[in-house]
Amino acid sequence: MILIFNKPMNVLSQFTDEGKWPGLARYIDQPGVYAAGRLDRDSEGLLVLTDDGRLQARIANPKFKLPKTYWVQVEGVPDDVALQTLAAGVDLNDGRTRPAKARLIEPPDVWDRDPPIRVRKSVPDSWVELTISEGKNRQVRRMTAAVGHPTLRLVRVAIGPWSLGRLQPGEWITTTVRP
């Protein structure tokens, strides 16, 4: 079984609650499925869950280079140099990231975030679509910060052949699509 879930902001990528943060059990009542990879508590969007251990390992393991696409709202407007740096790979404290795809996009049609992002009247914001093929800890946030554009909001919209589609936060569907 494969589930596609739109993980809301401030929900953990595990079934058990932890302190004030709710887990997946508040949204998904399917025994035997587990998250294939993680999505940080303060990130939103696509989380794939499965009862297939081999598939779970394949999705989560960076050696399979399954692409993950994010819509990232950042402070400022990245110029061509910043976008090229993101695409070529960014030097982080735990090594250089793999090459990625990065482009500016128009503000996407996504749900309102709760809580809303912090807005600074003197600093514009913009959206970047970033596709990576690895999963270092908080990688996308660290990449955008490294090029001078801190992440304000992070929404994962695709992993390999799966996409969020029109699922709203907290909604999930089953699928038969496999990588």
Indicate which residues carry an active-site annotation.
40
- What single-letter amino acid sits at 62? P
Q: Quote the DSSP letter at residue 98.
A: P
Indicate the SS3 state at residue 163.
Answer: strand
- What single-letter amino acid sits at 126? S
Nearest to 78 by CA among 118, 128, 140, 139: 128
Residues in the chain: 179
Handedness of CA 100, 106, 107, 108 (dihedral sign): negative
